[in-house]
Structure 1
Amino acid sequence: MGSRIRHLLIIFFIQIWITTAQNRDGAALQALKEAWKNTVPPSWNVGSDPCRDGWEGIMCTNSRVTSIYLTSMQLTGGLPGDIGQLVELQYLALSYNPGLTGSLTPAIGNLGKLTNLVLVGCSFSGPIPDTIGNLPRLIILSLNSNRFTGSIPASIGNLKNLYWLDLTDNQLTGNIPVSDGIKPGLDMLTHAKHFHLGDNQLSGNIPPQIFHSNMSLLHLLLENNKFTGPIPSTLGLVRSLEVVRLDRNALTGDVPSNINNLINVTEMFLSYNKLSGLVPNLTGMNVLNYLDLSNNKFGPSDIPSWFSTLKSLTTLKMQNTNLRGQLPAALFEIPQLQNVDLSDNQVNGTLNIGLNPSSQLQRVDLRTNNIADFTQRLQYTIGLILVDNPICMESGVTDKFCSLPSNTTTSYSTLPNNCIPTPCGSGLVSSPNCKCAFPYMGSFIFKAPSFSSLGNTTIYESLRLSLMTFFQKTQMPVDSVSLMNPYRNLDDYLVLNLEVFPSGELSFNRTGILWLGFVLSNQTFKPSKDFNTYVFIAQDYDNFLSEVQVTGGTTHKSSNTGVILGSAIGGCVFVVLLVVAGVYAFRQKGRAERATQQSRPFALWDPASGSGGVPQLKGAKAFTFEELKKYTRNFSETNNIGAGGYGMVYKGTLPNGQLIAIKRAQQGSTQGGLEFKTEIELLSRVHHKNVVALIGFCFDQGEQMLVYEYIVNGTLKDSLSGRSGIRLDWMRRLKIALGAARGLQYLHDLADPPIIHRDVKTNNILLDERLVAKVADFGLSKPLSDANRTHITTQVKGTMGYMDPEYYMTQQLTEKSDVYSFGVVMLELITARNPIEKGKYIVREVKQSMNKSKELYGLHEVLDPTIGLSSQLKGLERFVDVSLRCVEETGNQRPPMSQVVKELERIMELVGLNPGTESSSSTSASYEVSGTDYNHPYSNDSLYAYSGGFLPAKLLQPK
């Protein structure tokens, strides 16, 4: 009996303790609510139990508060000591609330289970409390972009599990703390990957003992402080480092000779210091992308031999570094080189940029040197600056390089996604999907991007796509994202504005915003190494979706903003309905008169109707809707073979047994009668064995359909990805490349009028029964009239990854735009990779992997393993050369398709294949090896493959 009573008493006291703890959590949050001056989410006015009553931004486990996520909530006030009562708290994220002020309470040290403390972009001030070292589980500490003063607490060295330390953009002073056997220091953070301490007022020497071989640092950012003294030689012991920023300090002495031990560093900034001695030897730093040693006090140094050995360089900045001697031409041939700044030095002799400068090279600044001559072998399009050199004292062909270029700003903005932006009301913004909404906005600040070219649209699109992929995987309510206005600020950071648009609604609700703010402040989103580390600073968001509010015990769906917005929208809708009703009544008679003509296309195309007369067709038949309905079994699901932006594609059979593919426009995507007539007149003139033939069309009963020949083996994309099961060895890929090139050459040179395809990609190259390539899908094509034989200025359309960057920037479409896209197709043929895959662009990947001194240019790692053995890939190097010429940055550097065809024919001859003739009458048999006959794809057992080997074709037949 006594033991039973004791048991009940224990349970009773446990319940009391749990209830007391829960009450303590509730009381702490009530204190926060009061401290934040009633700027908390409205749901905090519901009930008194944050866990049970569903307070936004609060997450609980077993009725205890474990997470507070209140980013971008416009909170105002301080952080009271009551926060220390939430002893089960693991996440505290209050970023992007600039109204949060005052000191960071020492009670923060009571939160022994805290793993993430993220207070980015607030206005906290005063010293960082020493008690922050009492958080043994802390992994992420982000206090950047506040107003903290005083020194870095040495107690941070106690945070053994710390991964991310970011104290940038504050007003911190004093030295970097290191341990001395009694007190801790940052040298004890052996598991930390990130030391971000830049943009403060830290001073003194960088202590040598902070670096040692046991550290696992990736990013060391100490820029824009007041450090003095030498760079410690111990820095060379931290071989894990990838980014080093020591610029904009007052460092002195020689650069340590072992600096080139840092063979994993991709970005190094030592500029704007007082470093002396010789320019450091960086031999062996083979992955270095961005190097800036500018504006130091180096003694006279010869042009380093290691310049041209750093094959990953995109940017070399060594302004005012006392360099002398003649520059090697090999420097400018580094494959990814974009920007060279060697101004204010003693470079002399003859400048030779060579025959094959980097295709990415945009700017070479050699002003104020001693260059006496310039060997010009090419008409360079790079921004070469030779102002204040002896060569500019003579008149001649270098005159255009002897004046300072005008300041040009780089403009970039995400383009609409194949739609027309609609005008939006006040405060609303049109998204890339042309939907008006209130976006969540802010700025990415990238501290160490690997590139310097601001006009690289492909790399921005890669970032945008990776953002969308991230939001989709994390099930964020995001419809689309837009990036815009890149620029370099005074600290050489890349700043890029971001807009995130809500999905299915006019604006985000509070939950959507607080999660968006959290993942961007907590570094949950990881960009590619092209962009490296970043800070995101959000703007205020005050257009929250209507939310539940409680007033006087009554719950209703509303907010002041919502009421005003709803009233405005309702009024606008009412006015629009009145206008539409009037227009409808006015036009009703005309619609009735046209109803009959809708089902009689040739009547519509009568000269008297002003639509241009009877269509000039060459072999294309006009089908009725009922005919095509019959040929496709009433457009049955089993006959549906695909879909695209235009609509559905159906397989059909004509009465004579011929297979056809019918593209049926979906409702809402149809064109006017005149535009549709123009399109089919254009396509009916196209007749070539390497272009899919138009058999006919349907303009009947309000339908618009195009009827093509049916191509049995589907798209080249399907075969490269393995979906079709067709095995494409090197010989077959060569034939496919040549066939597709001939099809494009025909469109450019022989079609009347010439046609720019505008959407060349592996999905638009089809393979027939003999694997003959046929260019398809002319939905975006543009004819070249006599008035615009050189280019067409038109809205940018196409597929990202294949799109010509010059067309993207200028909106001037040329035949060379198709050449660029075909170059990407050629690279896809040998790699079987998507043009943009996991944030990596195929063109750049191939260029980075190339080494022309090696067999197959050293591309073994990027080649498709199913392409064949190395010994069988004869001519592959020349194939790569042609493809890279096609993807040059500017159109005038790319060959015409006629030249591409000739180059591919030479490669075919080199490998012992008969390339056939150029005439359209030649048959597909002319592509085959002499003596070989492929009557049908199923006759060759090796034609179909699977991942484990090759299967006989009969096993792939339906049972």
Structure 2
Amino acid sequence: MKHLDNWGRGDPCGSPWNGVLCFHETDNDGFLHVREIQLLNMNLSGTLAPEVGKFSHLNILDFMWNHITGSIPKEIGNLSNLTLLLLNGNQFSGSLPDELGSLANLDRLQVDENNLSGTLPKSYANMSNVKHFHLNNNSFSGQLPPEFSRLPKLVHLLVDNNNLSGILPPEYSALAYLSILQLDNNRFIGGEIPESYQNLSRLIKISLRNCSMEGAVPDLSQMANLSYIDLSWNNFTGPIPTNKLSDNVTTIDLSHNNLNGSIPESFSLLPALQMLSLENNSISGSIPAGIWQNKSFNATARLSVDLRYNSLSNISGDLNPPQNVTLRLRGNPVCNGANIQNIHLFCDSDAGGNGTIDPAASTACPITACPVDQHIEPVPDLEKCYCAAPIRIGYRLKSPSFTHFPPYIFAFKSYITHTLKMDHYQLSIDSYAWEKGPRLRMYLKLFPDVNNSRVFNVSELQYIRYIYTTWHFPGSDLFGPYELLNFTLLGPYSSVNLEAGKSGMSKGVLAGILVGVIASAAIASVLATVLIMRRKNRSRQFSRNNLSSKISIKIDGVKEFTFRELSQATCNFSYSAQVGRGGYGKVYKGILASGTTVAIKRAEERSLQGKREFLTEIQFLSRLHHRNLVSLVGYCGENGEQALVYEYMPNGTLRDWISDKCERTLNFVMRLRIALGAAKGILYLHTEANPPIFHRDIKASNILLDTNLTAKVADFGLSRLAPVMDDEGSVPHHISTIVKGTPGYLDPEYFLTHQLTDKSDVYSLGVVFLELLTGVPPILHGKNLVREVNAAQKSGSLFGIIDSRMGDYPSECVERFIALGLSCCQDKPEMRPSMTDVVRELEDVLQLLPESMAMSDNNTSRSSSSITTTTSFSNVSKYGRMASDVSGSDLTSTIMHSITPR
């Protein structure tokens, strides 16, 4: 299950992980300018933090179908631009915040299928633009607020399956646009349906099943658009009104009441009728055969007439209904009429009569004609045999105005395809089923235009999803409100990133919100993709004004720079000098007065520390000296500034070099030496640094390459000192800490237990080793590199996933390198090698290299100008290509790599 993890600092985000999604305000790049958060059906858990109210430009907040708990933050009421608030299908509890009444632009409020309780806030009457209230399937109590009658645009009011009581407010007759009133399974004990409801001229559906209501069934004949009436399981008394209802009526359910009198003859004049249920009443007299005799049935039409357990004694007409009619008469005196032909067919069981089977979709070619293993299949309803790749959509009608779908399938397909600008044949209803409610769940397939392509392009996919997720389908009286359950991309679409090019949310924000899955211990490493940002955990925030005095300390080997020196080195921190940006702040390439090129990490205000903390960090970093670590050159602590100056790495990050977007590449020996260098740098942190350090954010973008392609480990902003000896002289093997790191590289055991060990770094480095050999990021389109390499090894196809750009390599060396990487990535820390063993194994593999290969590489690695250049690649990686959302180290060059396909 995925988790909404903690992000940022301060309580609760600064405390150990507690499953809270925290948001922190940023500049133009961040939250204030986010317009959509759509995390539908992502298996998220945790709670939603109050900081969500800082997304001041937000239009859509969508967390449907997850496992989010806790209360709904009242701060959402600050989101004045919000039009869609979609929190249904979670485990929210508590009451609805009054503050949401301030959402004057809200169009749709969906909080159904949660654990919410309390009364419905009267303040929601201020939502002057709201059209849809979906509050069903909770535990709301109290009375329906009469104030809701002031909602000028309300179309759907779904409050079924709650604990509401009191009376139905007569004031609701003023809701001029109300089309669906669904209040089933509440407790309006002793209440009646107000006569004024006859004025609801636009009402399509009224459903008050099991509401403990009394009195007479109202005359609804004045409602010209009425299609669906369900007043079953109440205590209504008296006769059924005889005036003719609208020709649109499909459903009349008055079962399980105390009604008497006869069946109105006007029921024989309803051309669209699909269901008439009067079961368990005291209806007497004759059964009007005109109910089915006066109807014209086509192949898809069906009529169910349920008259069981009444006092009906006769039939006016012949008892010979068509095959399309299901008639149930059990429990009536008429069943004792021996002279009535075929009476036993409708009296002997509760099933009774004959029904129709919905026609299946047809296709012009057999399914074997298409490569089904690639999720390509025949296009139904097409005269010619044509194979294409559909997208699959889970879809549910929440309150349809019919009980039998087949007669409306053509209209439904027209409704969908017209909005999507498609032809009728492009939509196939794969299956559908009625659910409790009643609601209609279905699975749809959308096929590309066969005149253009067998697959949708990315822009078409984005458009289709946009229409569904933003409720751009026009309102339908017949089909009622709908909800998207899932949007599934398989086969040729499995590698499509629909977020690419989306301007609403920055990659940093997505990395902070999108989180990983933990399905089981066996695949925890695959799916421990948690919301983790490169932020230091601080107990306080400081402004530059609080740090206006100069910070100074004398440290051997570390120079103290003035702000003026750094400003001159970067042309006043110009945009052209900026080479990166991380959790600490922006990074600039600078040229000092001495001519030395450096990387300057300038802290942004949110990253500023107290003077003591800043100087402590400088002292800490200054003690780290190793050939395979990026060195600290100096610092600046004046004019309210805090900056760290590092040696500059002209050859960028390892991730740059092994990316399929890089024109240049590394051969196998170069990769092996880089792995060894990185391992030696981490071994130094574990065993020789004073005190020892756990890095906890090892990744390919934190391994930098100098002029000679020597690997240097960078970015200790997330590092933690290793455990120290206690009073009894023992040293614990782990430290407990907030989980930080990068998705895909994160040790699953650390994620689950919050216990950071040296083996956590071993796991992350193992992922880097596999990345070096395959060129594939640790997580790509839902596939996890560790799992894919494990599978390839077991299936004997290991060499099929090796990066083809490495050139020649000894198979024995590659096998041992891969075995080492997989050993480092064992789920259980005790099964992983120590960093000492990792370095030793890499040195042994290096010794296995043919002398000619090792010598050739030694000559090549002395100059970056000699690096192998690959101009064409015949093999396409089975994993495809991904642009990483996780920012790498900031101490890199401004090399621009040309894109070359694999």
TM-score normalised by structure 2 residue count: 0.49
Higher relative contact order (CA 8 A, sep 6+): 2
TM-score normalised by structure 1 residue count: 0.46
